[in-house]
Structure 1
């Protein structure tokens, strides 16, 4: 399934938490033009977890409910900044915003903030997946090392020969080196050892 383009916003849903009626009407009008459905939200009220993006007014910070914080973790957050005091910026940074807008809002800049938020969110998710794969590979390297050491000791051979033996066994059994290594460490011997 292809991921939606960050530039195509039609059909997306936005959770909007804005105190000022003027700002809220500007966002609603701009979102209608872009084809985005808006879901108004008052912190403490019911939470809709199906939003693709959340616009959070810094006047609603800090968000203290775990349900509120969990909701914002599902999609990118756009912070609406009214003041630039260090304490307010610290509260905004706790949201890990993907983009921001400065109040009082204007229609200019909303599209750019949305595109940047979706693109940053996509890139962050890709990086998290890469980190997860690297962590998994690192954990599997430990298993392979343990298996190589075990084969070295049990067959009285050097490290390159032990690894070659594990690799050959993996190819014969049509398994990965990591799978064979896990079997070796679990059983204590090379399954169907060859040579």
Structure 2
């Protein structure tokens, strides 16, 4: 299943928290051109849908309610920066923005900020999934190593021969090496040494 293109924004939903009406008008107009459905949001309000992205004015920061910060953690955030002071930037970093725009806003740059935010978010999610898979593989490697050591000691075999024995038993039992290794370490069930 292919993911939708980051360059196509039509039909995406955005929450927009902007204090300045001029900036809000520019964003609404640009979103209409791009086919993005936007909903004005006050950070104190609850939201009953999952937005595809959020534009948050730095004047609303800090978002003191943890539930609001957690809510924004589920979609890419574009920070709207009015000042570049270290204290303000620190507050912006708490949002983990995927992109940013500098106020006063212009229509130029909004599309690029949206595309970059969505693409960065998707790439970050892919990397997180890869990390989870690698962590699972690392945990399974530990189990395989423990099983190999157990077979080495119980059958007086060298490491390559012990691993080959586990691999052969796993194939015969139609299990993965990791599954059989977990059984060996948990139950003490060892494959018989053959030949």
Same fold flag (TM > 0.5): yes
Structure 1 contact 49–71 (Cα < 8 Å) conserved = no
Unpaired stretches in structure 1, ≥5 consecutive residues: none
Q: Which runs of 5+ in 2 are unaligned?
A: none
Q: List per-residue Cα deviations over 1:173-194 (Å, max 9, x = no partner).
A: 1111000000000111225x35
Name 2:27's counterpart in structure 1: 27
**CA distance in 2 between partners of 1:77 and 1:160 (Å):** 51
1:187 counterpart residue number: 187
Tell me how far apart the structure 2 counterparts of residues 64 and 139 of structure 1 sit (CA, whole Å): 37
4+ residue runs of structure 1 moved beyond 2 angstroms? none
The answer to whether the Cα contact below 8 Å between 1:101 and 1:109 also exists between their aligned partners in 2 is: yes
**2:134 match:** 134
Q: Structure 2-normalised TM-score?
A: 0.97
CA RMSD between the two structures: 1.0
**1 CA distance for matches of 2:172 and 2:154?**
20
Cα displacement (A) at 1:23: 0.5
Aligned counterparts of 2:44 and 2:67: Cα–Cα separation in 1: 9
Tell me the number of residue pairs that the alignment of Structure 1 and Structure 2 aligns: 194
1:14 aligns with 2:14: yes
Provide the rounded CA distance (Å) in 1 between the counterparts of 2:2 and 2:123. 15
- Measured at CA, do residues 48 and 18 of structure 1 come closer, stay the same or move farther in structure 2, by a change above 3 Å? farther
Say if 2:155 and 2:193, in contact at 8 Å, map to a contact too.
Answer: no
Please, what TM-score do these two structures have when normalized by structure 1? 0.97
CA distance in 2 between counterparts of 1:97 and 1:179 reads 41
What secondary structure is seen at the aligned counterpart in 1 of 2:54?
strand
2:5 aligned counterpart, secondary structure = coil
Indicate the residue corresponding to 2:101 in structure 1.
101
8 Å Cα contact 1:47/1:68 also seen in 2 = no
